[in-house]
């Protein structure tokens, strides 16, 4: 084998090895991105045409740490947060004005807002969404699952604060909408072990919020 042929042989061999290494690295990066996407926790999911957050709102502008965490309570059209546990101080039993939840008072994180009554209705549409009472990671609540896609959210049964700031009965879920009814109470999503429906509460009550994407 001449020196020239010998050199070309090793040059081609080196180029081939480099191509294999580059292709291998590219595949690993791509697969890594896919794996990371599949294993990461989504911030929101689409259910019956509405994109719902997977966690309650905690302090203003922040989601709770987990889907099972209670988050904090809010009075209708107010951004002040109230703890779901412990004693309350400076409870405000006045009623906030307004005909809908104003964006300036919306405690949802950026890109999210308090849902409307129609969006709550979409979650309660049993033709499109199945809902059931479940215990998830030791927490009782209601799971809503899109029948077509299998996407689901879990809403913990956090109860509520009444007009005097007193925590209501356990094993209940109350979640605000941004809409008022004819008597100026706020529409809500209400559920217990045997049922889930749309109801309404006095605007001075403290309820949970599960936001939707804007």
Whole-prediction pTM:
0.80
First to last CA, the chain: 71
Q: What three-state secondary structure class fits 160?
A: coil
Contact 143, 153 (CB under 8 A): yes
Percent of the chain beyond pLDDT 90?
Answer: 73
Radius of gyration of the chain (CA): 25
Mean pLDDT of 44-59: 98
Mean pLDDT of the chain: 85
129 — pLDDT class (breaks 50, 70, 90): very high
DSSP letters spanning 33-93: HHHHHHHSPPSEEEETTEEEESS-B-STT-B-SSTTS---EE-TT---EE-SSS---S---
85 — pLDDT class (breaks 50, 70, 90): confident
Read off the pLDDT of residues 13-34 as tens digits, 9 standing for 90 and up: 444 444 433 343 333 333 322 2
In sequence order, the 6+-apart residues with CB closer than 8 A to the CB of 88 are 82, 161, 165
Whole-number pLDDT of residue 55: 98
Q: How far apart are alpha carbons 172 and 157 in whole angstroms?
A: 5
């Amino acid at each position: 084998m001449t020196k020239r042929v010998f050199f070309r042989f090793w040059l081609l061999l080196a180029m081939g090895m480099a191509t294999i290494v580059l292709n291998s690295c590219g595949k690993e990066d791509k697969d890594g991105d896919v794996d990371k996407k599949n294993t990461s926790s989504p911030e929101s999911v689409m259910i019956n045409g509405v994109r719902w957050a997977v966690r309650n709102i905690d302090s203003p502008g922040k989601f709770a740490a987990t889907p099972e965490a209670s988050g904090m309570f809010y009075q209708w059209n107010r951004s002040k947060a109230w703890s779901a546990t412990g004693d309350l101080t400076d409870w405000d039993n006045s009623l906030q004005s307004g005909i809908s939840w104003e964006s300036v008072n919306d405690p949802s994180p950026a890109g999210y807002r308090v849902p409307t009554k129609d969006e709550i209705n979409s979650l309660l549409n049993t033709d499109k969404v199945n809902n059931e009472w479940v215990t998830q990671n030791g927490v009782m609540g209601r799971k809503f699952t899109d029948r077509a896609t299998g996407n689901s959210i879990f809403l913990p049964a956090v109860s509520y604060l009444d007009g005097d700031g007193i925590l209501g009965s356990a094993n209940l879920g109350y979640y605000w909408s941004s809409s008022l009814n004819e008597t100026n109470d706020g529409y809500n999503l209400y559920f217990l072990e045997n049922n889930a429906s749309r109801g309404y509460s006095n605007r001075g009550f403290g309820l949970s919020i599960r936001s939707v994407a804007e």
